[in-house]
Amino acid sequence: MLVVKIADIAQRAGVSPATVSQVLNGKYKENRPSMQARAAQIRELAAEMGYKPNAAARSIVRGRFNAISLLIDYGGWGQGISRHLLGEVMAVLNEVDMQLTVTQVPRSVDGEGQAEIFKQRCVDGLLTWFTTGAPQLFVDRCAAERVPSVFLNTKLPRDCIYPDDLGAARKLTQCFLEQGLRRIAYVGQDIPAASRHYSVDDRLAGYLGAMHDAKRKPLVVAPSRVGDELGIHDYINRCLEDFKPEAVICYGGLEESVVTAPWYRGCPIGFFTSASHIYFQSPHWVMRTPDAHMGREGVRALLRKIKTGRSFASQAIPFELTVRPGTSLRRRAPAHAEDES
Amino acid sequence: MLVVKIADIAQRAGVSPATVSQVLNGKYKENRPSMQARAAQIRELAAEMGYKPNAAARSIVRGRFNAISLLIDYGGWGQGISRHLLGEVMAVLNEVDMQLTVTQVPRSVDGEGQAEIFKQRCVDGLLTWFTTGAPQLFVDRCAAERVPSVFLNTKLPRDCIYPDDLGAARKLTQCFLEQGLRRIAYVGQDIPAASRHYSVDDRLAGYLGAMHDAKRKPLVVAPSRVGDELGIHDYINRCLEDFKPEAVICYGGLEESVVTAPWYRGCPIGFFTSASHIYFQSPHWVMRTPDAHMGREGVRALLRKIKTGRSFASQAIPFELTVRPGTSLRRRAPAHAEDES
DNA sequence: TTGTAGGCGTTATCAT
DNA sequence: ATGATAACGCCTACAA
């Protein structure tokens, strides 16, 4: 008897399988002492024999899998997906006793790539993370497959949970303005619209909106990625050097170009990142992507959708702003470097 | 007919469910043209109706789940688990058409924490990642549960796949010695044996062994973590300043204390890390934890174990050494900062 | 209160 | 060659 099943317990206990099932699922009315004793005996026997319910058998009779799938695009592991997001997703699922399966999307999300994903029915819903947002083609496919889905990091009218880049950029700019800083520059990116994440447009729009409201002249530097890395770096800093900014707001990743440039003299910089640690000592205003929050809201939305079958209006999650004044101290080793072994 | 099943197809095609099943699984002998036509019709019908096999039903009749679980300890998401490892695990599983479920271990791995994990039977095997190695208590439980298991990042005689810290430290020291460097210091950690990862001992042993072979006097600095961060930093550097090392080997994470210290003048340092990017410009010799390699070997070992039922002798995976000479250039922005958004 | 019987979707076996 | 039929492990409505 390699693997114990309900029938085994029933036989040893001298009752029917149905009774065992009821007892083990708490659907056994234990009114009288004799029944309590019986139930206790069955439970003890089950534990002793090492009984574990077979999830597959359960799924088939209950009509659901008690599992959702986290779908991550191919580039996702290089850049985007965060352990905080993953941790939060697992925590929520744990509460409702569901499993999480993780799947990597094939290179391309066109016809055959999709086929791979929807080949079999093994989860109740789909949580997706695409580094530059879920492609429309894929969103449509999910609808066609009638699989309850939630799209993280994607800005569409419905069924999405995404970071509020627009609001974050606006807030950041306003903070600088309230400090009395006026010459605020924005360093963005020039990316072809086709492969562009919504955040590229939204952060820029947030900055421009706040500057416009304050009647300040904006300065936008948006190098294209076509040139080499050095070219971008130099291009950004030539522009900034001319402008003599009192503060700089950078699209995530470009802040390093600024703080390491020769002209830079420690003016406040604001930028967006998902990293836990910041490795330089300039005064900085960091907008952290709300990974954990997004994960939590994402699963919850998905669970609701699975239960009700209804789609929902997309939800923007606010960034978290932390401010660190500059310091002339030598940089210290972090107490526990998160990304090091 | 919300979800299509084999019976539906069979009815529409005017054949029995068994025939449909055979056709769809390629176990239908298509010898004669008439049979080929029939098979083609069934396949077309299945595609048209959007049939997807139900994984649970399959599992129950085939007796296995076609899935393994990756178990990660609570602290794992803050420190250890690597996306490269995860990516490689998924890639291997994809080839054999299996699913990966990810599970977070409860706070403690004692009795009740374990119970949570083994509550139900839903995978064919367990791949585990514990930041400081799998506790014996847990390893024993896996054996008792008769679940095929592989323990990553753990050094026990059997069923483990772990980074070769001993060999890596020895190699690193030998490299320095071959460069003609003689005064080589080692910066380690003083951690209570109970909660100590094997790498703490092994790296030190590798260093000491190589120094001994070369008949060089070792210098070991091993601050305890009891004091505050500042205390550790200062302690390390007071020792090193006195010793005047020509090279320093650091346990992962401590290298920052060295390169930012006032006495430090750019001597070569060697250290261990799982990070993709190094953020300082000293000449350094980096031993990278072989995450991807470990993931690949880990799943493969687990799949073999599931198939054969036999345990295996543990396997050490070599680190990957990369050397970067020091530079006086200003640090540039990385082309694609992996940990940034 | 307890147990019997039927069904969930799929596949393997064995007559036809 | 094809198709009934019987499992697989579990759950539950209903009958005893």
CA distance A293 to B76: 19
Question: Does the predicted TM-score (pTM) go above 0.85?
Answer: yes
Contact A330 B260 (CB under 8 A): yes
Q: Is the CB of A120 under 7 A from strand C?
A: no
Q: Is the CB of A7 under 7 A from strand D?
A: yes
CA of B5 to C1' of D10 (A): 20
Residue B147 and residue B257 in one domain:
no
Neighbour order of strands in the sheet with A67-72 = A315-317, A160-163, A149-152, A125-129, A67-72, A99-104, B99-104, B67-72, B125-129, B149-152, B160-163, B315-317
Smallest CA–C1' separation from B7: which nucleotide? C9
Judge whether A317 lies within some domain: no
Residue with tokens 């080793």: A333
Question: Distances from the Cα of A11 to the Cαs of A5, A6, A54, B55, in angstroms?
Answer: 10, 9, 18, 29
> Taking CB atoms and an 8 Å cut-off, how many pairs form between chains A and B?
184
Same domain, yes or no: A154 and A17: no
Give me the residues of chain B with pLDDT under 70, please. Answer: 1, 30-32, 75-80, 109, 111, 226-230, 279, 326-341
Residues of chain A with C-beta less than 8 angstroms from the C-beta of B121 = 3, 52-55
A173 and A249, same domain (yes or no): yes
Which structural domain, as residue segments, surrounds residue B230?
165-289+323-340
**CATH code: domain of residue A201:** 3.40.50.2300
Dihedrals phi, psi of A313, to nearest 5 degrees:
-70, 135
Answer yes or no: is B317 within a domain. Answer: no
CA distance B27 to B31: 12
Would you say B4 and B10 are in contact if contact means Cβ atoms under 8 Å apart?
no
Q: Do B340 and A274 touch (CB under 8 A)?
A: yes
pLDDT value at residue A325: 82
Burial class (CB in 10 A: 0-12, 13-18, 19+), A46: buried
- Looking at the domain assignment, is residue A126 inside a domain? yes
Does A122 reside within a domain?
yes
Determine whether the distance from the CB of B42 to the nearest atom of strand C is below 7 Å: no
Same domain, B34 and B78: no
pLDDT at residue B127, rounded to an integer: 98
**Strand C nucleotides with an atom less than 7 Å from a protein beta carbon:** 1-5, 7-13
In a shared domain, residues A190 and A302: no
Cα separation, B89 vs B297, whole angstroms:
9
Q: What was the pLDDT predicted at B18?
A: 87
Q: Do the Cβ atoms of A233 and B103 come within 8 Å?
A: no
Q: Which pLDDT value is given to residue A37?
A: 86
Instruction: Measure the CA–CA gap between B12 and B146, rounded to whole angstroms.
Output: 44
B200 touches strand C (CB under 7 A): no
Residues A204 and A122 placed together within one structural domain of the fold: no
Q: Among all strands, which nt has the closest C1' to B15 (CA)?
A: D3
Which of helix, strand or coil describes residue A102?
strand
Calculate the alpha carbon distances from B96 to A187, B92, B299 in Å: 46, 7, 11
CB of A322 lies under 7 Å from some atom of strand C: no
Q: How far is the CA of A244 from the C1' of C1 (A)?
A: 86
Determine the Cα–Cα distance for residues A281 and B164; give it in Å rounded to an integer. Answer: 36
Same domain, B11 and B108: no
What is the domain-level CATH number for residue B29? Answer: 1.10.260
Which single residue is written with the structure tokens 């990642």? B129
Same domain, B217 and B335: yes
Instruction: Check CB contact under 8 Å for B103 and A99.
Output: yes
How many helices, marked H, and strands, marked E, lie in chain A? Answer: 12, 12
Give dist(CA B39, CA A56) in Å, integer: 29
The phi and psi torsions of A285 (rounded to 5 degrees) equal: -115, 110
Q: Is B143 found in the same domain as B116?
A: yes
Under 8 Å between Cβ of B184 and B220: no
| A330 interaction partners in chain B (CB closer than 8 Å) | 260, 262
Please check whether residue B199 lies inside any domain of the structure.
yes
Residues A283 and A177 occupy one common structural domain? yes
Which pLDDT belongs to residue A199?
A: 97
B281 shares a domain with B141: no
Q: What total of structural domains would you count in chain A? A: 3
Residue B21 lies in a domain: yes
Is B61 within a domain? Answer: no
- Look at residue A60 and tell me if it is in a domain: no
DSSP-derived secondary structure for B84-123: HHHHHHHHHHHHTT-EEEEEEPPS--SHHHHHHHTSSB--
What is the residue-level pLDDT of chain A in tens, covering all 341 positions? 678 999 999 988 988 899 999 999 888 777 777 778 888 889 998 999 999 999 999 999 989 999 999 999 876 555 556 888 999 999 999 999 999 999 988 877 776 778 889 999 999 999 999 988 999 999 999 999 999 999 999 999 999 999 999 999 999 999 999 999 999 999 998 988 888 999 999 999 999 999 999 999 999 999 886 666 668 888 999 999 999 999 999 998 899 889 888 899 889 999 999 887 776 778 999 999 999 999 999 999 999 999 999 999 999 999 999 998 865 433 433 333 344 33
Same domain for B212 and B330? Answer: yes
Phi, psi of B276 (to 5 degrees): -85, -35
* Chain B residues touching A47 at Cβ < 8 A: none
Q: Separation of CA B60 and C1' D7 in angstroms?
A: 11
